[in-house]
Amino acid sequence: MAQNSSNNLVAPNARGALDQLKYEVAQELGITLSPDGYQGNKTSYENGSIGGYITKRLVTLAEQSLAGQYK
């Protein structure tokens, strides 16, 4: 059985949109991201905050999409 990595996207064509979302969320939180993609110099709190806000926003988008389907 193949092991899935949490870094593999179900929809790989969404990578650009997710990267954009990451930078938007970081900016809103006042966190500067490295342009080369290396975030190892960020604290766990900073990285966790970015991930948490991205998840919250994606859940909101999914809920809105579902609500639109079932009007």
pLDDT digits (tens, 9 = 90+) for 26-49: 999 999 998 888 888 999 999 999
Average pLDDT, the chain: 88
Give the C-alpha separation, 47 to 33, whole Å. 10
Reported as a pLDDT band with limits 50, 70 and 90, residue 71 is: low
Q: What average pLDDT does this structure show over 8-26?
A: 90
Residue 49 has what pLDDT?
95
Q: What is the DSSP letter of 1?
A: -
Give the separation between CA 59 and CA 14, rounded to whole angstroms: 15
Cα torsion for 30, 31, 32, 36, to the nearest 10°?
-150
- pLDDT cut 70: percent of the chain above it: 90
Tell me which residue has tokens 């079932």: 70
Q: Are 25 and 50 in contact (CB under 8 A)?
A: yes
